[in-house]
Each structure stands twice: as C-alpha cells, then as structure tokens.
Amino acid sequence: MMTDPISDLLTRIRNALMVRRADVKLQASRMGERVLGIMKQRGFIHDYSLHEKDLIVKLKYDEAGAPVIEGLKRVSKPGLRVYTGKSEIPTVQGGLGISIVSTSRGVMTGADAKKQGVGGEVLCTVW
C-alpha cells in the first residue's frame, strides 16, 4: 500500500522525463487522474489513459526534444498538510506554471480557485 500516491506520480513523471521516455506507467488513483486531467488541459502532457489498475501517461516534449515540464514539486505532504485561503494561493514561476489545489469544489488550478473564490489544500506545482 502506498502512503502518498501524488508524490509517487510526480516522481515517476520526473524520472521518466529525465531519461526522455515517451510514456510512463503509474498506479491508478482518482486523485492522480484529476491531477493528470489538469496537466493535460494546461498542455503539460499529451494524454493519459486508464488500463486496468494502471494509468499510462504520454509525456510531451518540444521540437528540440526538451521536456515541456521543467519542474514538479509536491507542496502538501501527508506529514505536513498545506492549506491556503483564496487570497494566498501561490503563483508559480511568475505565472508560467500552475499550482494544483484540492478544494471543496474539486481539484483545480490555483487560478481557477481564485476565480471561484475558494481556498484549499495545495497539492503540487508544475512549471
């Protein structure tokens, strides 16, 4: 049993990007699917699909072969949860990246949470 599926997801993606893999297999979780959905919507990954108990993520690279994702950081951890109000949601890399926040209205980007006027748990940042 895994204690932190979001950290595992981010670490596996980070490691796959370092060795220039086209795709990566992850253990399926609902929270992981929501995070990947946001990353796909914002253009950080090509696509993801669910196969039995695994998520297959197709990673995205630019024309020069460099990864589109420059960095991934887990913010809130099982041992230290990080909650923020609607006015304190962090901006990432001067607006070039996104923060992913779990709110009472679902998992969304920090910008969407600000627009809806809700705060929540800051899961991770992607840039």
Q: Which two tokens stand for residue 49?
A: 């699909």
- pLDDT of 1: 60
- pLDDT of 15: 98
The boundaries of the domain holding residue 121 are 72-126
- The CATH number that applies at residue 48 is 3.30.1370.30
Question: Is the domain of 52 the same as that of 84?
Answer: no
pLDDT tens string for the chain (127 positions)?
678 999 999 999 999 999 999 999 999 999 999 999 999 999 999 999 999 999 999 999 999 999 999 999 999 999 999 999 999 999 999 889 999 999 999 999 999 999 999 999 999 999 9
Residue 17 lies in a domain: yes
Question: Is the domain of 50 the same as that of 95?
Answer: no
Question: Is the domain of 84 the same as that of 115?
Answer: yes
Residue 66 lies in a domain: no
Rounded to 5 degrees, what are φ and ψ at 58? -95, 115
Q: Which two tokens stand for residue 38?
A: 């946001």
Residue 120 lies in a domain: yes
As for how many domains the chain has, the answer is 2
Q: Which two tokens stand for residue 122?
A: 């800051």
- pLDDT of 2: 76
Residue 21 and residue 64: Cα distance in Å, rounded? 15
pTM of the model as a whole: 0.93
Residue 46 and residue 34: Cα distance in Å, rounded? 15
- pLDDT of 121: 98
Residue 51 lies in a domain: yes
- pLDDT of 34: 97
CB 8 within 8 A of CB 27: yes
- pLDDT of 3: 86
Give Cα 70 to chain centroid, integer Å: 12
Residue 39 and residue 24: Cα distance in Å, rounded? 14
- pLDDT of 70: 96
Residue type, 7: S
Question: Is the domain of 20 the same as that of 49?
Answer: yes
Virtual torsion, Cα 30, 55, 89, 84, nearest 10 deg: 40
